Amino acid sequence: MSLESILAHILNEADARKEGILKEARLKAQEIIQQAGIEAEGYYRDSLKKENSLLERQRKRLVVNARLKQKKKILEAKQGIIGSIFDKAKPQLARNKIKKEIVSLDKVQEASEGVDFYLAGLRLQYENEIAGILFK
């Protein structure tokens, strides 16, 4: 064997090894890229899931707040209507001169009572009944 053939053989072997190493490196790089893609997809899905969860909680909070505001407005309107009914009843009750009896051990005495005293008691008693009639 001549020196040139030995050198050619060594160079061929080196090229074959180089090609093998490059092929192996490319395969390894593809595996790493594929694994990184899988991990990135997992991070993306986790991030998306967290954002969707956060957005859903915010949406629910907004809906609950809107419903609460709506109920408050409806309640205020109902209380306003009931209040106006009692305001209209005041003059009629004042004309009828409501009286009460004061009972003691030795005598029974009649006394006039203010309309507001009776309306306060009646309001609580009839508020639900009036609301039931008006808002069925």
Label residue 104 by pLDDT band (50, 70, 90): confident
Average pLDDT over residues 39-62: 96
111 and 100 Cβ atoms separated by less than 8 Å: yes
The distance in angstroms from the start CA to the end CA of the chain is 112
62 and 73 Cβ atoms separated by less than 8 Å: no
Give the pair of three-digit tokens for residue 111: 């006394």
Number of domains in the chain: 1
CB neighbour list of residue 19: distance below 8 Å, 6 or more residues apart: none
Residue 87: domain span: 3-134
Nearest to 123 by CA among 74, 94, 76, 87: 87
- What single-letter amino acid sits at 128? N
CB neighbour list of residue 108: distance below 8 Å, 6 or more residues apart: 101, 102
Nearest to 126 by CA among 96, 93, 83: 83
**pLDDT, greater one: 135 or 70:** 70
Assess whether pLDDT exceeds 70 at residue 91: yes
Residue 72 is predicted with a pLDDT of 87
